Structure 1
């Protein structure tokens, strides 16, 4: 284009400059893959996308971070910039794969890294999402690979936390908020619930599937996502009434309870205490 044309396009808004030294089409400037490629161009090789960016490329939807994360070897001196987080770590060629032409860490390595260093609820939901729908043998292999990556880390920071989160994860939750809610419950010191617990009639016909349950005490915890439940209050109330007729106490949680879980935890403690007596 030439320097003059580039300056004109930048001034006119046709091009955007996420960081000095690299320009992208303004229409694509908010796309994660475009910003990731721009970061790689800015940094130069060797560099690999990592952390939240790597997980997003692997299709983990719960990871929603605007900053681009990449890792360079210790021998390189590259500084982070606004919107670009640079990590340093030595890695092997077999640790890197390509997704959409972009070098990124393999899923097991990216999960191990995020379990150690990422936001705790998001990290737990991410590994659960990665496990969701996998055949048992594939799930077992993924767990083993992630665990090996965790224990082999040169830095010991966050390893205990990562192993605890990995041990709790089973991939049964139907959504990231359900995973986060289960983590809240367990970390509050309550017994670990069974996930996706089926309720059947006397003939074995499936009636309901509970998000989380303590079957021995007949206490259920249901997460009401806005999109799925905004028009179902009456149906949910009728379901709770029918479950009460079967001897169950149902506690319902919403998105606001993920930010402030005091109400839900109080209701669960009261229900479990009543059933313990």
Structure 2
């Protein structure tokens, strides 16, 4: 059976009798040569990766954002082209970047050959925009549990690769605890402001009872920084949970600096000063 909500090879659908040539031509969206999907299906990074795999006929290795998507990375965006590495003379096509690499670390996920999580991080870290690279590698590490030292092993294996300086700068800033791009941006702002580096995903207990998992903070000073997305303000159930949660954290002696999009992106200096004051009151700063 052909799943029309996933990219599919037109020749396979025709051979299975699932569609006629007329239906294929007029009732489906052509993504690439011989690759189709039903109209209205969301064009995610994962869908683009699967379409590229079909386009290449199962030959080669999905890499970069495509490999990251297959590994479960979120926040990649649908506008990024798919990326595949394979030998031979297959050239790039609109929506797919084809690269030639002799030595690449790979594994198989859901029947597709992709770069390993550590190699994927290595490739994602080679971009010109350092913050965007950190954001993507954070998300990949969060999804896969990959550690920086594993990525550094790949770096050591490819000492002659381009952009190694950029990769090392990115790895110095990576923390797989970030659960969203704004959390990465918040952490980078704090670090670059000269404040102590925060720990991410801090679990807080009252005796043996789990109370909360905070985005980032400093256990020794009982200071937390929490990024609240839109749902924390618009969802009444979430709002009630947050009110009770922050009241309990306060009772347990924790100071919470809450961050929203306006504070982070329009008034970053105010955010930094609030964190600085909280740390100073806690005795972290002189």
Report the TM-score, using the length of structure 2 for normalisation: 0.70
Please tell me whether the aligned partners of residues 50 and 105 of structure 1 are also in contact (alpha carbons under 8 angstroms): yes
Instruction: Tell me the equivalent position of 1:155.
Output: 161
Instruction: Tell me the equivalent position of 2:61.
Output: 48
Please tell me whether the aligned partners of residues 222 and 253 of structure 1 are also in contact (alpha carbons under 8 angstroms): yes
Looking at structure 2, the residues matched to 51 and 260 of structure 1 have their Cα atoms a distance apart, in angstroms, of: 31
Secondary structure of the 2:98 match is strand
Looking at structure 2, the residues matched to 36 and 243 of structure 1 have their Cα atoms a distance apart, in angstroms, of: 43
Looking at structure 2, the residues matched to 272 and 129 of structure 1 have their Cα atoms a distance apart, in angstroms, of: 30
Please tell me whether the aligned partners of residues 97 and 103 of structure 1 are also in contact (alpha carbons under 8 angstroms): yes
Give runs of aligned pairs for residues 111-130 of structure 1, distance below 5 A.
111-117=121-127, 119-120=132-133, 121-130=135-144
Say how many residue pairs are matched. Answer: 257
Please tell me whether the aligned partners of residues 129 and 175 of structure 1 are also in contact (alpha carbons under 8 angstroms): no
Residues 259 and 240 from structure 1, CA distance in 2 versus in 1: closer, same or farther, beyond 3 angstroms?
A: same
Looking at structure 2, the residues matched to 152 and 100 of structure 1 have their Cα atoms a distance apart, in angstroms, of: 27
Instruction: Tell me the equivalent position of 2:227.
Output: 223
Please tell me whether the aligned partners of residues 68 and 120 of structure 2 are also in contact (alpha carbons under 8 angstroms): yes
Unaligned stretches of 5+ residues in structure 1: 132-138
Unaligned stretches of 5+ residues in structure 2: 1-13
Residues 182 and 72 from structure 1, CA distance in 2 versus in 1: closer, same or farther, beyond 3 angstroms?
A: same
Looking at structure 2, the residues matched to 62 and 100 of structure 1 have their Cα atoms a distance apart, in angstroms, of: 20
Looking at structure 1, the residues matched to 35 and 204 of structure 2 have their Cα atoms a distance apart, in angstroms, of: 56
1:134-165: CA deviations, max 9, x gaps? xxxxx6xx5443211123333230x3443354
Deviation at 1:130, TM superposition (A): 1.9
Residues 103 and 191 from structure 1, CA distance in 2 versus in 1: closer, same or farther, beyond 3 angstroms?
A: same
1:208-253: CA deviations, max 9, x gaps? 4433223444422112234456324455345545544555432112
More deviation in 233-242 or 250-259?
233-242
Instruction: Tell me the equivalent position of 2:116.
Output: 106
